[in-house]
Amino acid sequence: MQGHDAQGVFKRISLATKIIDARAGLAEMTIPRNFYEAVGPYQNAEFEIFGEDDNVVVSTVPIGFEVYNNHAHMIVGDSKPYIDEVDKLLQDILNESNTRLKSVSDESTRILNSITNTADGLDGRLSTAQGSLGSLENLVKLMTTEIQKNGAGVLGRENTWLETNIFAKVIEGLVKGLSISFYGSADPQQNLDNNAFNAKLPAFSLTANYYSGNRLQKNPFTRDEVLVLSFRFSTTTALQFAIMVGSDFGEARTRVINNINATPTYQPWKFTFEWGKKLMDMRPYLTKDFESYFTNGSFPMYQIDGYSVHLRGQVRPKKKIKFTQHDQKIYIARGLPFNAVTSQRFAQAWTKVTPYTLRVEGGDIWMERVYNNDNSLATLDPNQLFTFGTTALITR
């Protein structure tokens, strides 16, 4: 189950469903308290139905979901995004970290015991040597030399540790945080699906990379300013968060990489959340048969809003286009950065006050069923404007 609550905050649960009777279609779903943080009806909500043996969505069922005001049980404060898979992942990472920390503690205890035993042996040998002063003087000289060469840690001085160090107790004080690797226009072009690069992500670690002007390949967004956080929470699997940030808007998407050491499997990027809204220029996606019409700012634009896309503007053909059949496709724009629901047709008008059908499907927009006033097939001329203003459903 997933949807946007009354405040537009995204919620999703997929781990709380229990199949009672698969043959009868009976299932039990526990909805956590995070779904009741905003009073009012959900802006949209749906059940996702997956195949029996895979993670492919085979159907979605829109539902109505409303939260009533009940101060005895509601959560106080602003609604926050909630995805139970992410919560479970973070808990798994925490559990794994605790397990590894215990292992580190046990190993540290073993090493300390070994050092103690070694020290006892040294005491015995020093006693046998009758506390030779010469031996002590040599030991002092050796330690002094190591300190001078920065070979031993000294209190009150900056020390550089070249090997892995294990601390059995909590480290108190300031610890420098995660560094972010930057890739700009002067750096080699990067690819988010680079198998060799992803295989080098350290196990049980977090890696951050920021790309700006790098012409990033396999970028899930249309903008080239992207921050990618990679959580490799096992030896074979990693979770990636990609965040696109604009001046007044942004969007986040998530995906999982499986079998990262051999032949990685990249799961599709899933929309997670967004903030702000902005009309985007459609001109980069217009076909060669069309050019934008610039008068009064009417050039074509699109705006992604949740699971809808708003289309605005006017276009005109660059050359004459003659229809030969009524259902002929004349593409206006192709490869747009969204995936529209199939078979969406919208009645629109052109300068001769004659309607035509605007078709929006996948990442393409085309016109069909264009007639003259006498119902004959029309010819599109460069001096004719084709206006469109509508809203289509998308699956991202």
Q: Are residues 187 and 163 in the same domain?
A: no
Q: Are residues 127 and 210 in the same domain?
A: no
Q: How many domains does the chain have?
A: 4
| Host domain of residue 385 | 280-393
Last residue of a domain, one of 258, 275, 292: 275
Q: Are residues 286 and 389 in the same domain?
A: yes
Kindly list the distances between the CA atom of residue 112 and the CA atoms of 116, 125, 137, 354, in Å, as whole numbers in the listed order: 6, 20, 26, 88
Last residue of a domain, one of 249, 275, 301: 275
Q: Are residues 341 and 296 in the same domain?
A: yes
Task: Write out the two tokens for 201.
Answer: 């992500």
Q: Are residues 18 and 121 in the same domain?
A: no
Buried b / exposed e over 171-192, threshold 16 CB at 10 Å, is eeeeeeeeeeeebeeeeeebeb
Q: Are residues 97 and 162 in the same domain?
A: yes
Spell out the per-residue pLDDT of the chain, length 396, in tens: 889 988 888 888 877 777 888 778 788 888 888 888 888 899 998 888 877 766 788 888 898 888 888 765 555 667 788 777 777 777 777 787 778 777 777 777 787 777 777 656 656 665 665 555 666 677 777 777 766 666 666 677 777 777 777 777 766 665 555 668 899 999 999 999 988 888 887 777 788 999 999 999 999 987 889 999 998 888 889 999 999 877 667 888 999 999 988 889 999 998 887 776 677 888 888 898 887 665 555 778 888 877 888 888 888 888 888 888 888 888 999 998 888 888 888 878 676 666 788 889 999 998 888 777 777 888 888 888 888 888 888 776
Q: Are residues 22 and 99 in the same domain?
A: no
Last residue of a domain, one of 23, 49, 80: 80
**CB distance 311 to 281 below 8 Å:** no
